[in-house]
């Protein structure tokens, strides 16, 4: 009879104790600091904008640091007259308020294309351009969309006429005299394998003038490149966190990234193996990998880098070509490019992860809608894909990784101090 009252008396204390323990545990998990070793802080520093080297100078483009060339490039970038329907400009797909991409699964110019518009974030630091790296400079890249029948859909010949008509003085301020150029050439004239009429029209122009058209066209690319080069990221919360951490200001670091984000960051540089490809301050190794995306149900076959290699090798506007300003002994990336096409079948360029959560959808043809789906896809894919280490991540790990990726969102903008002015009458 006397045991029951004792039990009744002890029960509330036990409940209280359990309650306190649970509460302590919750508080502990939330307030316990994520520990960062010296080695880890060094890794983090290598990923932060502190480690971004000065903007590289492209040896194949003598005008890439010329502020007036950048201004001319900016004007062309925004000008819809450089398109077959008068409605497409570079800026229609690379929108300033969307991290210089468009948010669509596949780009829409004159028609819908096969791939997703890439964001422009510190692109001048790249060696290769496009998802398949079929271009080796920003200026040569810029010449692609203008003649692409799905994008701007005009020709180099028409581009030269447009420059002569609207931007003669601006052009001459930057590049010197615009060569005398006879009128009356067919505007569709361009070298191409897909359009016999355009190709014939191109052949009908005498060689000397074809060469002049190419020189002027290349110069327009060089001006556009000088502009695109100035689109750069400013520090995101991740960069501010790393700075505080490396300065030993733990209090400040913890006020910038939550514990959850820090745990996600730890997975990113550790168990997740993400930094074997998403490395350096732009979170890309500039290389090409087959992470299995092309085998997803939503995908159409795309050879990726395997086709990009011969294209960049044979491109007349590459670093070793006649229109490049590079000296002998330069163009290292192209000279020493890995040409094993078999190895790069269905491989795509590792994209930057800066501002990644702000710009869905993802992958080269917009195959996934959220970064969570990207990571879930990786977990499944890593069971069989030799490019990916086996990923043993729980739902909580995925949540933490996603939370971390949000800390990579910072301002991305045109650095106006690098852009000059052209007198008003020239514009």
Options 70, 72, 93, 319; binder of ligand HEC; rule CB under 6 A? 93
Residue 414, classed as helix, strand or coil, is strand
CB of 18 to ligand HEC, least distance (A): 37
The interface with ligand HEC within residues 294-323 (CB under 6 A) comprises none
Count of CB atoms within 10 A of residue 240's CB?
19
Question: Candidates 4-12, 106-114, 164-172, 333-341 — which segment interacts with ligand HEC by CB under 6 A?
Answer: 106-114
The interface with ligand HEC within residues 226-245 (CB under 6 A) comprises 228
Of 244 and 261, nearer to ligand HEC (C-beta) is 261
CA distance 368 to 363: 7
DSSP 356: G
Within 98-191, residue ranges assigned H as helices are 138-147, 156-166, 168-175
Of 258 and 367, nearer to ligand HEC (C-beta) is 367
Give the containing element (helix H, strand E) for 293. none
Question: Candidates 56-64, 116-124, 329-337, 413-421 — which segment interacts with ligand HEC by CB under 6 A?
Answer: 116-124
Does 220 interact with ligand HEC (rule: CB under 6 A)?
no
Residue 251, classed as helix, strand or coil, is helix
The interface with ligand HEC within residues 148-187 (CB under 6 A) comprises 151-152
Does 388 interact with ligand HEC (rule: CB under 6 A)?
yes
CA distance 242 to 76: 38
CA distance 267 to 93: 34
CA distance 214 to 180: 14
Of 30 and 111, nearer to ligand HEC (C-beta) is 111
Does 117 interact with ligand HEC (rule: CB under 6 A)?
yes
Count of residues that interact with ligand HEC, criterion CB under 6 A: 54
CB of 126 to ligand HEC, least distance (A): 6
Residue 86, classed as helix, strand or coil, is coil
Q: Is the torsion defined by CA of 345, 129, 136, 85 positive or negative?
A: positive
Query: Helix and strand tally (H, E) in the chain?
Result: 16, 4
Does 47 interact with ligand HEC (rule: CB under 6 A)?
no
Beta bridge partners, 307, equal none
Applying CB under 6 A, the residues found at the interface with ligand HEC are 77, 88, 90, 92-94, 107-109, 113, 115-118, 120, 123, 126, 129-132, 138, 141-142, 145-146, 151-152, 224, 228, 272-274, 276-278, 289, 291, 293, 348, 350-351, 353, 356, 362-364, 371, 374-375, 378, 387-388, 401
């Amino acid at each position: 009879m006397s045991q029951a009252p004792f039990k009744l008396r002890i029960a509330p204390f036990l409940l209280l104790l359990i309650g306190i323990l649970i509460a302590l545990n919750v508080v502990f998990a939330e307030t316990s600091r994520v520990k960062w070793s010296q080695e880890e802080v060094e890794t983090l520093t290598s990923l932060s904008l502190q480690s971004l080297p000065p903007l590289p100078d492209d040896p194949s483009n003598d005008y890439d640091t010329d502020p007036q060339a950048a201004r001319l490039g900016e004007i062309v970038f925004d000008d819809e007259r450089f398109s077959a329907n008068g409605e497409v400009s570079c800026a229609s797909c690379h929108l300033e308020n969307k991290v210089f991409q468009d948010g669509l699964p596949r780009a829409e110019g004159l028609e819908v294309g096969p791939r997703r518009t890439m964001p422009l974030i510190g692109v001048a630091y790249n060696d290769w351009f496009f998802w398949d790296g079929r271009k080796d400079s920003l200026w040569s890249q810029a010449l692609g969309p203008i003649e692409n029948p799905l994008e701007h859909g005009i020709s180099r010949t028409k581009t030269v006429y447009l420059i002569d008509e609207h931007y003669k003085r601006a052009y001459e301020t930057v590049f010197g005299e615009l060569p005398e150029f006879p009128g009356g050439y067919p505007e569709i004239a361009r070298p191409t394998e897909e359009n016999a009429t355009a190709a014939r029209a191109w052949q009908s122009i005498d060689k000397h003038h074809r060469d002049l058209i190419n020189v002027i066209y290349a110069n327009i690319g060089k001006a556009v490149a000088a502009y695109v080069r100035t689109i750069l990221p400013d520090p995101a919360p991740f960069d501010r966190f790393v700075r505080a951490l490396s300065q030993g200001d733990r209090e400040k670091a913890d006020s910038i990234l939550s514990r959850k984000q820090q745990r996600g960051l730890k997975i990113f540089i550790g168990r997740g193996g993400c930094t074997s490809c998403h490395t350096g301050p732009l979170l890309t190794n500039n290389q090409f990998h087959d992470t299995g995306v092309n085998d997803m149900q939503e995908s159409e076959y795309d050879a990726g880098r395997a086709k990009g290699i011969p294209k960049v090798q044979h491109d007349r506007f590459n670093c070793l070509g006649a229109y490049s300003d590079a000296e002998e002994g330069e163009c290292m990336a192209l000279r020493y490019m890995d040409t094993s096409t078999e190895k790069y079948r269905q491989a795509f360029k590792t994209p930057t992860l800066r501002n990644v959560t702000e710009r869905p959808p993802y992958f080269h043809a917009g195959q996934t809608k959220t970064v969570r789906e990207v990571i879930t896809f990786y977990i499944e894919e890593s069971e069989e894909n030799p490019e990916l280490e086996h990923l043993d991540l729980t739902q909580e790990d995925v949540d933490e990784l996603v939370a971390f990726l949000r800390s990579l969102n910072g301002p991305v903008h045109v650095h106006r101090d690098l852009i000059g002015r052209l007198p008003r009458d020239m514009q």
